[in-house]
Amino acid sequence: MTPADRTAAPSPSQDLERLARGVRAGDRTVLSRAITLIESKRADHRRSAAALMQALLPDTGNAVRVGITGAPGVGKSTLIDALGSMLTAQVCKVAVLAVDPSSRRTGGSILADKTRMARLASHPSAFIRPSPSSGTLGGVAAKTRETMLLCEAAGYDVVLVETVGVGQSEIAVADMTDFFLVLALPGAGDELQALKKGVVELADMIAVNKADGDNIARAKLTASQFAAALHILSPRSVNWSPPVLTCSALTGDGMQTLWSHILEHRQRLTASGELAARRGEQQVKWMWTMLEERLFEPLRSDRALKTALPRIEADVAAGRLAPASAVEKIAAMLDA
C-alpha cells in the first residue's frame, strides 16, 4: 500500500459501514450524526440515509414504542422525566423524541422542555432529541419515525414520543407507536367535553396526572368521568380495554402501575399477532407519507414556483382562475 493509499479518504460505503457500526454499538455521538444525516434534504445525503436505514433495519423493532399526548400544562415533560428515570433505574435505555410541527424556530417542544427533564437528560442511558422542523406535520413525523428506528438499532429499549397535544400531531404519533397514552388534569370537566373524540378513541390508556395533595379527590373523580366516557366509545383494539388511572409525575406515584399496563398491553397484542400487524401497517403508511413529502418538495424549494405560487393563490382566491386551471398551471411548471 502506497502512502497515497493510506491517506486516501474513505469511500461513502466505508463511511456508512462505520456509521452503522457506531449506531449498533450505542455510540451517542455517532447516533446523533446518523440522525443529522436522515434529517438532511441533500439528494446525496438522502441516498446515504436510505442505505443506512436499510442496513440497520434488521436491528430495529425491539423497543417499546409509547406515544404521549395531552393539553399544554398537563405535565407531559415532568411525567416523561419521572417515567424515564424510573426505567433507567431499572437498567433500561430510554430515548425521548418529540413531534411538534408548530415550532419552526426551535424545532420541537423538547428543546424547551429539556430543562423540565433534568434527571433524565443527564442520565447516560437516556437520549433526548427533538424532531426537525420542516414546516409540515408529514415531514416532521417521517423524520421522527426514522429517528425512532435509529434509536432502536442503537439498543434503546423504550422510545417515548411526545406530541404537543394540538392539531393532527396526536394521530401522527398514534400511527408510529405501539401504545398511545393520553394525559389529563384533575377536575378537567371542560377538558372531557373539549377533548377530541378521535383522540380518546386512539387512547390505549388515560392517566389523570397531578394526583397529589389537594388534587387527589378531584383526580379520582376525573378518572371516573373518563372511564364512563370510554364505555360508550369503541376501543382501538379488540384485545385491549383502555384503563384509566391517576398518577403524580411530581411524586412518582403511579409510575410503576402505568408502566405495568404498557407491558401488559404489549404482551396481549404480541400474543394475538396484532402488534406485528399494526407495525406492518404503520410501515406502509410511513412509506406513503415520505413519498408525499418528496413529491411536494419542489413546491417549497423551486424558486420559480415559490415566486409564482402567491400570485396563483391570489388569482384563485379572487375568482380569476379556476382551481382546476391553477393545478394544471402548477403541474406544467413542475414538468418544465
What is the value of pTM for the model shown? Answer: 0.86
Burial class (CB in 10 A: 0-12, 13-18, 19+), 302: middle
What's CA 234's distance to the chain center, in Å? Answer: 24
- pLDDT bucket at 284, cuts 50 / 70 / 90: very high
Report the mean per-residue pLDDT for the chain.
86
Is 198 exposed, middle or buried (CB count within 10 Å of its CB: 0-12, 13-18, 19+)? Answer: exposed
Q: Dump pLDDT digits (tens) for 105-116.
A: 444 444 455 567
Q: How confident is the model at residue 104 (pLDDT cuts 50, 70, 90)?
A: very low
247 near 257, Cβ under 8 Å?
yes
Q: Which domains does the chain have, with CATH numbers?
A: 11-59 (1.20.5.170), 60-277 (3.40.50.300), 286-335 (no CATH)
